[in-house]
């Protein structure tokens, strides 16, 4: 039986991103995906600035075309693509979005999932990932020190066992792994199922020049949703899940287009509108990520795939530190503590917006709508891996309001370093980084093996965006930023007046050195086996340390 530190199950967007992030950190791992490649249906399309920041940090940002900073995804109600506009549907009405180009070095990307996945796959392979396509998980068991998976190569039929210290379940909304662990889900649940048809129609691209990319089709006796992948591929989502012949699908496409255009049907599918959040994201040595953890419908805010990519960005550095012995396995408990509230936040924001609010039940209580930039750049994490995390603060706010609050993303500023212009985010992404306006902090940073940035010598902040203002700290204080770019701690206390001891205590808390605590929390749930899993395997899944 062979061994790998991490086993990733599922090789779609989230699984591939997990592989890339681990590979970029030098963490050996195996990814298994039961299909031979990407789905023929493109599925996800829009990728947020935060997702692009993650890809930029690991060196592939330049491979993914970004949209102009002023691009805004617009949805209009029409009788057909070529017909007259009736109204525009605003994604966040009345929320006063303040999003501006200077909040991020990236501008987001409009690339189809089946175009992005090969980029991720190649980047992970180049960095040393072991990707095994056409390989399925048959069953698994876990104990106090490992997860043992039974795998099958679907081409050769070979079955074999693989041991891993940890497993990431990125195996989709119907996740057999989550079901085997007995982890429940909560939320608005199933709302409806729709039929979709993907087709190629270059002539339709002309109508994008009017400025909208999504079209709610409203005709007497016919309702549908039409959108594009930006490469002459369009998808029509019909307002029900009734079986339709090829001729009926062609007729529906013609009605949606409104004019006679040549097109070719590429694929059909079904799409479930639902909202479900797992009651926990970790059981023992297994972590849920992406749709396995949170099933959310596609939104103009990018709350689906992008949330999953952010999940594994959060998890990758923690696995790296634990596997290298730099932190206790207790650090991994912060994954659920930090990411599950984000899943719920995005669930509530999704179904409180006008795109989905009409479909939820009367018992759903809409949440006050948050600005787009608060949800994209201002989500607040709260766990033991954030020193002095304040649970009483709001779940999200704009970066201007946070100004370096622990638990939030470090702010982006265009700075000078070595004579070159770069983003302040380029200072982070690998190690813990300590920043201060005075050099005296460097000694304690070296003692704790932290990278140190002198903000008035090594880098230069612009006069209108001073380091002290952007990070909300005194010049002779300090700020500690985690490897994932989250502010972990800050103080106004000078290093000689107790600041050094504050930092030592904070770092012990959030890094949780080995031996600090017992490892690995477990959900209070019952594990039932995968199809074909033995009762012994199911029992082992219940006995994680």
In a domain, 51, yes or no: yes
Fill in the DSSP letter of residue 406: T
Global pTM reads 0.91
Q: What is the CA radius of gyration of the chain?
A: 24
In a domain, 96, yes or no: no
Same domain, 301 and 425: no
Last residue of a domain, one of 320, 343, 359: 359
Cβ burial of 83 (10 Å; 0-12, 13-18, 19+) is middle
Same domain, 349 and 399: no
Residue pointed to by tokens 């304040």 = 390
pLDDT of residue 389: 73
Q: Of 93, 116, 106, which is closest to residue 16 (Cα–Cα)?
A: 116
Last residue of a domain, one of 359, 375, 400: 359
CB 20 within 8 A of CB 58: yes
Q: Of 146, 503, 508, 512, which is closest to residue 333 (Cα–Cα)?
A: 512
**Domain CATH code at residue 427:** 3.40.30.120
In a domain, 207, yes or no: no
Q: Of 196, 197, 207, which is closest to residue 80 (Cα–Cα)?
A: 207
Same domain, 327 and 426: no
SS3 assignment, position 511: helix
Same domain, 134 and 23: yes
Residue 130 to residue 8: CA distance in whole angstroms: 10
**At 150, which helix (H) or strand (E)?**
strand 147-153
Residue 340 to residue 65: CA distance in whole angstroms: 30
> Structure tokens of 140?
């698994």
**At 381, which helix (H) or strand (E)?**
none
Backbone angles phi, psi at 176, to 5 degrees: -60, -30
In a domain, 238, yes or no: no
Residue 146 to residue 323: CA distance in whole angstroms: 12
CA distances from 528 to 140, 167, 447 (A): 11, 17, 47
Same domain, 288 and 414: no
Rounded to the nearest angstrom, the gap between the alpha carbon of residue 406 and the centroid of all alpha carbons in its chain is: 20
Residue 25 to residue 31: CA distance in whole angstroms: 16
Per 3-state DSSP, the chain is made up of helix, strand and coil in percentages (nearest 5) of 30, 25, 45
SS3 assignment, position 185: strand
**Domain CATH code at residue 146:** 3.50.50.60
**At 365, which helix (H) or strand (E)?**
none
Alpha helical stretches, state H, 226-273:
246-257
CA distances from 430 to 237, 313, 404 (A): 42, 12, 19
How many domains would you assign to the chain? 2
Same domain, 152 and 39: yes
CB 376 within 8 A of CB 50: yes
In a domain, 266, yes or no: no
Residue 412 to residue 49: CA distance in whole angstroms: 12
Same domain, 400 and 473: yes
In a domain, 205, yes or no: no
Per-residue pLDDT of the chain (545 residues; tens, 9 = 90+): 899 999 999 999 999 999 999 999 999 999 999 999 888 777 788 899 999 999 999 999 999 998 887 777 788 999 999 998 888 888 777 655 445 568 999 988 989 899 999 999 999 999 999 999 999 999 999 998 999 999 999 999 999 999 999 999 999 999 999 999 999 999 999 999 989 999 999 999 999 998 888 999 999 989 999 999 989 999 999 988 788 899 999 999 999 999 999 999 999 988 889 999 999 999 999 999 999 999 999 887 778 899 999 999 999 999 999 999 999 999 999 999 999 999 999 999 999 998 899 999 889 999 999 988 899 999 999 999 999 777 789 999 999 899 999 999 999 999 999 889 999 999 999 999 999 999 999 999 999 999 999 999 999 999 999 999 999 999 999 999 999 999 999 999 999 999 999 999 999 888 765 444 444 444 433 233 343 333 333 333 323 32
Domain span at residue 6? 2-69+105-186+275-359
CB 268 within 8 A of CB 198: yes
pLDDT of residue 101: 64
Same domain, 414 and 490: yes
Residue 167 to residue 513: CA distance in whole angstroms: 22
Same domain, 289 and 404: no
Same domain, 299 and 397: no
Same domain, 350 and 459: no
In a domain, 13, yes or no: yes
Distance linking the first and last C-alpha atoms of the chain: 22
In a domain, 225, yes or no: no
Same domain, 12 and 130: yes
CB 432 within 8 A of CB 418: no
Residue 398: which residues within 8 A CB-CB, separation 6 or more?
Answer: 98, 371, 373, 374, 377, 378
């Amino acid at each position: 039986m062979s061994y790998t530190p991490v086993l990733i199950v599922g090789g779609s967007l989230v699984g591939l991103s997990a592989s890339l992030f681990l590979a970029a950190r030098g963490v050996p791992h195996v990814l298994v995906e039961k299909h031979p490649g990407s789905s023929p249906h493109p599925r996800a399309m829009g990728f947020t600035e935060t997702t692009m920041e993650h890809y930029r940090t690991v060196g592939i940002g330049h491979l993914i075309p970004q949209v102009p900073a002023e691009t805004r995804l617009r949805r209009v109600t029409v009788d057909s693509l070529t017909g007259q506009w009736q109204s525009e549907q605003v994604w966040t009405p009345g929320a006063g979005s303040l999003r501006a180009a200077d909040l991020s070095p990236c501008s987001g990307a409009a690339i189809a999932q089946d175009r992005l996945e090969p980029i991720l796959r190649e980047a992970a392979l180049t960095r040393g990932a072991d990707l095994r396509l056409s390989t399925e998980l048959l069953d698994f068991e876990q104990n106090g020190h490992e997860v043992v998976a039974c795998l099958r190569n679907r081409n050769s039929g070979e079955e074999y066992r693989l041991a891993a210290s940890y497993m990431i379940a990125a195996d989709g909304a119907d996740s057999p792994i989550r079901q085997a662990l007995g982890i429940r889900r909560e939320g608005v649940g199933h709302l409806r199922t729709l039929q979709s048809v993907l087709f190629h129609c270059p002539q339709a691209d002309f109508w994008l020049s009017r400025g909208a990319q999504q079209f709610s089709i409203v005709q007497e006796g016919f309702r549908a949703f039409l959108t594009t992948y930006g490469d002459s591929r369009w998808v029509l989502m019909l307002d029900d899940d009734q079986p339709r012949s090829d001729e009926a699908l062609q007729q529906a496409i013609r009605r949606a287009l409104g004019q006679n255009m040549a097109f070719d049907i590429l694929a059909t599918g079904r799409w479930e509108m639902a909202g479900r959040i797992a009651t926990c994201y970790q059981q023992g040595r297994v972590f849920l990520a992406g749709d396995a953890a949170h099933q959310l419908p596609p939104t103009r805010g990018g709350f689906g795939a992008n949330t999953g990519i952010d999940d594994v960005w959060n998890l990758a550095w923690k696995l790296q530190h634990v596997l290298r012995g730099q932190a206790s396995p207790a650090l991994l408990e912060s994954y659920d503590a930090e990411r599950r509230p984000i899943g719920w936040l995005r669930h509530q924001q999704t179904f409180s917006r006008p795109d989905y609010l009409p479909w939820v039940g009367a018992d759903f209580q809409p949440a006050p709508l948050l600005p787009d930039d608060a949800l994209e750049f201002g989500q607040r994490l709260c766990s033991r891996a954030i020193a002095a995390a304040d649970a009483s603060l709001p779940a999200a706010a704009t970066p201007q309001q946070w100004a370096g609050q622990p638990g939030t993303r470090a702010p982006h500023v265009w700075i000078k370093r070595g004579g070159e212009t770069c983003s302040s985010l380029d200072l982070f992404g690998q190690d813990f980084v300590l920043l201060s306006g005075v050099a005296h902090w460097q000694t304690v940073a070296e003692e704790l093996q932290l990278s140190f940035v002198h903000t008035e010598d090594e880098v230069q902040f612009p006069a209108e965006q001073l380091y002290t203002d952007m990070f909300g700290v005194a010049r002779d204080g300090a700020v500690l930023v985690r490897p994932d770019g989250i502010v972990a701690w800050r103080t106004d206390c000078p290093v000689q007046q107790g600041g050094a001891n504050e930092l030592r205590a904070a770092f012990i808390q959030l890094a949780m050195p080995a031996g600090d605590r017992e490892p690995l929390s477990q959900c209070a749930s019952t594990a039932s086996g995968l199809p074909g899993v033995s009762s012994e395997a199911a029992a082992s899944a219940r006995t994680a340390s």
